[in-house]
Structure 1
Amino acid sequence: MNTITAGRHQTRYAAEPHLHLFIDGQPLDGLLHQYYPDDNFRGLVPTLLSWLDRPQERAVVWARARLHSLRRVKLPLLMCPDDLDLSCTVIAAEVIVEDDLVHWPRLGWDATTSHDPVDSCREVTWLPRIPAFAFDRREYQRCLDAFAAALAE
């Protein structure tokens, strides 16, 4: 089983440390960079931050992030720090919630051409070098709660 946490991290292009996703103690953008060093994934920032400019995009991300049993969604996880929206570079996870586990069987970049937030991650180009991840549901929820608390600040 993998671990998932929310913690402060200084990404490559951000002005200061911010909340970030950590998988097995490693920032998610750094993990992606390990497997795909030529694809400019280092420096991407979480979509769960309050940085998304459009309220509709924030609503789509959070609706998909909420844990519901026996549900499969494509969750936008990371975005380009320049545009801070779902129309540029977006990394998504396929999320499957089962009882006490949350699975990410695959990650990829959003290849959807529509700019409607509801269509986000409809088409995903999967990144086959990234392994599957499985998380304890309670730990996953604590990670989401940390981002929700930061939104409320």
Structure 2
Amino acid sequence: MNVIEAVMHMSLYAKAPHPVLVVDGVPLELWLKEADCSAVFGEDTVGGLVPAQGWLIDECDLQNAWYLLNPKNENSSTIVPIMICPDDMDMNCTVAVVEQLVDEETVSWARIGRAIDVRNGIVVSVEWVAGNKRAVFDKTAFSAAVDELRRLIEEVWS
């Protein structure tokens, strides 16, 4: 099982450390880069992405990103925006997504992709990355990491 946590991290284009999720100790944008996403995202694009949760400037898009990240009903699948372009900070630029599966005890990121169509802040079409970069998290630990990410954004970073 993978480990997920929320920490402060200095990403490639940020001017100061900011909250991010880390998978097995690897910041999310670097974890995505390890998945060899270049065919879908282009060369070196994912290394500069920042978390959708906390960086989206449209309040409705931001609330949607938080809502989608939180585990939903068991035996369900959700497309979750996890990283965005730091220049535009919206859902119209580069948006990295995961297909998030939830069961009784785990939250899994089954696939990684790039949003290719977004309507009203919701990803409706995805170009998936070839290969199988997966992560499986304990559901309780995942929820704790999401709660800590929110706390870091609201109390430390803001």
Relative to the length of structure 1, the TM-score reads: 0.90
- Aligned residue type for 1:150: L
Which structure 2 residue ranges, 5 or more long, are not aligned? none
* Residue 57 (structure 2) aligned to one of 14, 32, 53: 53
Q: Deviations over 1:92-113 (max 9, x none)?
A: 010111011001110101010x
Q: Distance in 2 between matches of 1:149 and 1:93?
A: 22
Match in the other structure for 2:3? 3
- Aligned residue type for 1:18: H
| Secondary structure class of the residue paired with 1:123 | strand
Name whichever of 37-46 and 72-81 sits farther off. Answer: 37-46
Match in the other structure for 2:126? 124
Q: Distance in 2 between matches of 1:105 and 1:65?
A: 14
- Aligned residue type for 2:84: M
Q: Runs in 1 of length 4+ with deviation above 3 angstroms?
A: none
Q: Deviations over 1:78-127 (max 9, x none)?
A: 00011111111000010111011001110101010x4521xx32111111
Q: Distance in 2 between matches of 1:148 and 1:21?
A: 11
- CA root-mean-square deviation: 1.5
Q: Distance in 1 between matches of 2:48 and 2:22?
A: 13
Contact 1:110–1:125 (Cα < 8 Å) also in 2 = yes
- Aligned residue type for 1:140: F
The structural deviation recorded for 1:130 is: 4.7
Identity of aligned residues (%): 30
Q: Distance in 1 between matches of 2:56 and 2:69?
A: 15
1:40 aligns with 2:45: yes
Contact 1:46–1:78 (Cα < 8 Å) also in 2 = yes
- TM alignment of 1:94-113, pairs within 5 A: 94-112=99-117
The structural deviation recorded for 1:150 is: 2.9
The structural deviation recorded for 1:69 is: 2.8
The structural deviation recorded for 1:27 is: 1.0
In structure 2, do the counterparts of structure 1 residues 45 and 108 end up closer, same or farther at CA, with 3 Å as the change threshold?
Answer: same
Q: Distance in 2 between matches of 1:133 and 1:4?
A: 9
- TM alignment of 1:70-81, pairs within 5 A: 70=74, 71-81=76-86
| Secondary structure class of the residue paired with 2:80 | strand
Match in the other structure for 2:66? 62
Q: Distance in 1 between matches of 2:49 and 2:132?
A: 16
| Secondary structure class of the residue paired with 2:79 | strand
Q: Distance in 2 between matches of 1:60 and 1:125?
A: 20
| Secondary structure class of the residue paired with 2:48 | coil
Which structure 1 residue ranges, 5 or more long, are not aligned? none
Relative to the length of structure 2, the TM-score reads: 0.87
| Secondary structure class of the residue paired with 2:53 | coil
